[in-house]
Structure 1
Amino acid sequence: MAKLTIRFETRQDKMNQEGLVPISCMISVSQKRKRIATEINIPPCNWDKSNQKAIYLNKKVYSKHAGASATLFLMESDINRINSRLIKIKSQLDFIEDGFRLADKEYSIEDIYSAFKNSNTATGIKGPQKPTERIPGVAEFIDTYVERNRASRAKKSLGVYKQLKNHLEAYEAWSGRRITFDLIGLSFFEEFQSFLIEKRTTLNNITIAKQLSTLKTLLGYARKHGIEMNQSYRDFTIKRQKLEVITLSESEYKALKECDLKGVSRHIKARDIFIFLCATSMRYSDYAQFKREHIKGHTIQLTMKKGSKPWEIPLNPISMEILEKYSDLAYPLPKISNQKLSKYIKEVCEVAKINEPVEIVRFRGAEELKQVFPKHQLVSAHTGRKTFCTLSLERGASVETVMKWSGHESYASFKRYVNLSRTHSISEMERVWGKMDILKAG
């Protein structure tokens, strides 16, 4: 399929009597070109040809350029306004092209040019007012967002946007109106939240908060790319429920290591991998990409899958022992899918009698939903990372050290991984403030 290219340039041959040159937008498809007038004029010295944008020059630098008139001097706010208009033009052209691509339609330079000329005049381009039905719909824009970010975002994270699209389309069917960017604001968020609570009854408040947060992220992206919208949505506050932190206690961790698995291969491998996660703070995504070349002496050095940050994990006797156990494999550890690993770990924890009742509380609107589970049912592969952080603190490591080991950069995100036990809390109080004599009745 053809590809649209966009380039901004100044027309030196069209300088007006004031010494300003017009900025043109050159578009091309399959080596055929069209010029779009932006109706923006600028002093030649304020144009950066290589980066295709206006640049600010202070008065001293500006005055050194031949022909620079003091009356034409552009403030930094003027430059920002010009560049903002150019970004809107490019975003509108990109949006038009994405529409053809998502519909799997061939397009020519004339198709792009014609669609652009008939579009909204908000970018500063002269032309007829954009009809209401042509204002971008939020649900359809999600397809554009997913397509643009497919190469740089994890498939799982983009899946949340597809879920959001389903909820928006359901809301449109329920309300009988198409949701466009000009309709979204504080009132819409309040109504959409109520719709998710009352009509999408399988969702709890945690999932709803995630959907609303994703919508806010999408709107921020669209706004930066030149789509105008009701800004009052920023005043909507998303209420988030604090989640339970499921970790293994010291005694449960020991029981897991020592329980008899009766030679069941899948359980033995799953336990070894889980214990390795407990001893290194690795996420499943990092274990999945872990290779022998990442082992550097007494450390593991790799780039975190989440966040793409370089990460060095010191090895310890437990993690080293597990690596040595599988030294004959091509990979450092056996390979098991995330779904199966979490399933097998639940089975292993049940064998280890990790059955403490745990109450899980969720809300749907104001309705409280309570369920009690034996703890082994709540353990997953990610519990290993949380167990590492909790046990490391309980064993005496400082918060700063554990954060360095685990790769956390903010305490706000780190504390969600920690579940210090009641026993540890009591013993720490005694260590810091001294033991208390038992009060006698009477």
Structure 2
Amino acid sequence: MAYVNFYLDKPFSDAKSRTEIKHVIADCNKAKKHYPKSILNSNLTALYLFFTPVKGSRLKIRTTIKITPEHWDFRKGKYKSTVPGSLELNNELENLSSNLKKKFILYKESGSSLSAEDIKQFLEKFMNGDAGKKDGTLLRARETFLEKKIGLLSEGTLKEYRTVFKSLSDYELQKKLTLNFSSFNQSFFESYEKFLIEKKNPKQKKEGLLNDTIAKYTATLKTFLQWAFENGLHKNRSAFSKIKTQIKKRSKNEIVALMERELMDLLHYDFSGNERLEKVRDLFCFGCFTGQRFSDIMNFSKLDFDGKKWDFIALKNKKRVVVPMTGFIANAVPIIEKYSKGFPVISNQKFNEYLKEIGEKVKINNPVKIVRYRGTQQLVFTRPKHEFMSSHMARRTFVTLSLEKGVPITIVQKITQHADLRTLIKYEAHSTEALFQSFKNT
């Protein structure tokens, strides 16, 4: 009787020694546990089919399937049951195995030669006919997308896709179904948006995502579906081109930025007794004076600074940015000089966490009213300004203060590299101080 087994090509991390991996595998096998992520390859790897046509003979052939090792059950030789869509994926493997064995029986009954070379040719023909088709499973397409986009998209953007993909898995679990590309139609998007409205939001500690977030999720999902269509992974063009989402992103949201006196109070506050907060304050102020993204500040190099300008290539859009260290922006120079050995490195999450602590200490407490929507429900939040402080507030502060000081909006755009001028126009009437200043001499 013929046997079929499946194995991964390169399942283990190159960063671990073979000895260490063997020890971990032995411990896991003894305890009947899955292998930990620490020893696994984090990238997609090819799935191989091992075919045993007769006792003492085994042939292997590469399939078109690629798998993230974390999703593979090495003891059972199939997808883990906890993987979203595992039932569909394992059925696919089972069908592949069953069809191969059935066709091999017919091959033998036809009187064909059973030499190793003949069987190998039979196996290759079978794979080209039955398994060489374009892979159409949604889960695998998601994995392939993330794999191909590494190095092309920023880590922040990749995280957005992972978050949306996770929401699809949560949707499947709640609805007790398995999505495929034909699932994406008008009815799905209406159900998905309703699911997101009711989905628990860990950050807000309340039920339901806000409309702006939901609109971002659906836009990101449609971008992925269009990519999959253009790469031949499905034929459902209407999945992304004919969908009318019920929830739209608001064209205007409140802009929470620091006033100049708040920024200067923050800059001159004595944090000498707390190095952790002092470093975060300095990095935030540097962002307020230069208008650059957090990722580019973390990537700051003294080689890009000649004393008069900061000249670098932005990580997000790969465009050249020149920040002239003059006037208001020159406030950033002492911060560069202070960290002559390089800027401190910190995660965005921790940075934002410490910023709120800093804002509270500096008493940036002016009440800020924010209006948001969850479905048709209007939500009004009134909180002290320091609770809204984040790395992105630095960029907003730069734009707001620059426009207040009369810097032409096109020059501001040149420094911030905003792709759409309309994004900056909404800043022009943001500040109450700017409104008073505009009519001061009329």
For normalisation by structure 1, the TM-score amounts to 0.65
Aligned length: 329
Amino acid in structure 1 at the alignment position of 2:373:
F
Aligned twin of 2:338: 325
Greater mean alpha carbon deviation, residues 209-218 or residues 361-370 = 361-370
Q: 1:336 to 1:164 in 2, by over 3 A?
A: closer
Equivalent residue of 2:182, what SS?
Answer: coil
1:426 offset after TM fit, Å? 2.4
Q: 1:323 to 1:170 in 2, by over 3 A?
A: closer
Aligned twin of 1:175: 175
Of residues 278, 294, 297, the one that matches 1:287 is 297
Amino acid in structure 2 at the alignment position of 1:427:
Q
1:98 and 2:66 are equivalent in the alignment: yes
1:235 and 2:247 are equivalent in the alignment: no
Aligned twin of 1:354: 364
Please report the RMSD computed on the Cα atoms of aligned residues, expressed in angstroms. 3.4
Equivalent residue of 1:286, what SS?
Answer: helix
Q: Answer whether contact 1:345 1:380 (CA < 8 A) is retained.
A: yes
Q: 1:318 to 1:2 in 2, by over 3 A?
A: same
Task: Give the alignment of 1:25-104 within 5 angstroms.
Answer: 96-98=64-66
Q: 1:269 to 1:402 in 2, by over 3 A?
A: same
Amino acid in structure 2 at the alignment position of 1:345:
L
Equivalent residue of 1:208, what SS?
Answer: helix
Equivalent residue of 2:391, what SS?
Answer: coil
Distance 1:312 1:422 in 2: 30
Of residues 424, 433, 436, the one that matches 2:434 is 424
Aligned twin of 1:214: 220
Distance 2:226 2:63 in 1: 16
Distance 1:419 1:254 in 2: 22
Aligned twin of 2:210: 204
1:312 and 2:340 are equivalent in the alignment: no
Aligned twin of 1:145: 145
1:199 offset after TM fit, Å? 5.1
Equivalent residue of 1:236, what SS?
Answer: coil
Equivalent residue of 1:118, what SS?
Answer: helix
Distance 1:109 1:373 in 2: 71
1:207 offset after TM fit, Å? 2.2
Distance 2:421 2:122 in 1: 54
Aligned twin of 1:273: 283
1:379 offset after TM fit, Å? 0.9
Residue-by-residue CA offset, 1:24-82 (whole Å, 9 max, x unaligned)? xxxxx99xxxxxxxxxxxxxxxxxxxxxxxxxxxxxxxxxxxxxxxxxxxxxxxxxxxx
1:223 and 2:229 are equivalent in the alignment: yes
Residue-by-residue CA offset, 1:127-185 (whole Å, 9 max, x unaligned)? xxxxxxxx834344212211222343333322333332332233333434322212322
Amino acid in structure 2 at the alignment position of 1:245:
I
1:298 offset after TM fit, Å? 0.8
1:254 and 2:264 are equivalent in the alignment: yes
Aligned twin of 1:52: none
Distance 1:100 1:257 in 2: 47
Aligned twin of 1:193: 193
Q: Answer whether contact 2:186 2:244 (CA < 8 A) is retained.
A: no
Amino acid in structure 2 at the alignment position of 1:338:
N
1:99 offset after TM fit, Å? 5.2
Equivalent residue of 1:382, what SS?
Answer: helix
1:236 offset after TM fit, Å? 2.3
Of residues 125, 130, 135, the one that matches 1:118 is 130
Equivalent residue of 1:96, what SS?
Answer: strand
Q: 1:112 to 1:142 in 2, by over 3 A?
A: farther
Equivalent residue of 1:358, what SS?
Answer: strand
Amino acid in structure 2 at the alignment position of 1:114:
F
Q: 1:405 to 1:2 in 2, by over 3 A?
A: same
Amino acid in structure 1 at the alignment position of 2:304:
H
Aligned twin of 1:345: 355
Greater mean alpha carbon deviation, residues 346-355 or residues 385-394 = 346-355
Equivalent residue of 1:182, what SS?
Answer: helix
Q: Answer whether contact 2:314 2:321 (CA < 8 A) is retained.
A: yes
Distance 1:117 1:351 in 2: 68
* Contiguous gaps of at least 5 residues in structure 2: 1-7, 11-46, 49-61, 79-92, 94-119, 201-206
Equivalent residue of 1:349, what SS?
Answer: helix
Residue-by-residue CA offset, 1:411-433 (whole Å, 9 max, x unaligned)? 033346667311211220343xx
Distance 2:212 2:124 in 1: 42
1:220 offset after TM fit, Å? 0.6
Task: Give the alignment of 1:373-412 within 5 angstroms.
Answer: 373-412=383-422
Q: Percent of counterpart pairs with the same letter?
A: 31
Greater mean alpha carbon deviation, residues 183-192 or residues 165-174 = 165-174
Distance 1:369 1:265 in 2: 38
Distance 2:174 2:349 in 1: 35
1:323 offset after TM fit, Å? 2.0
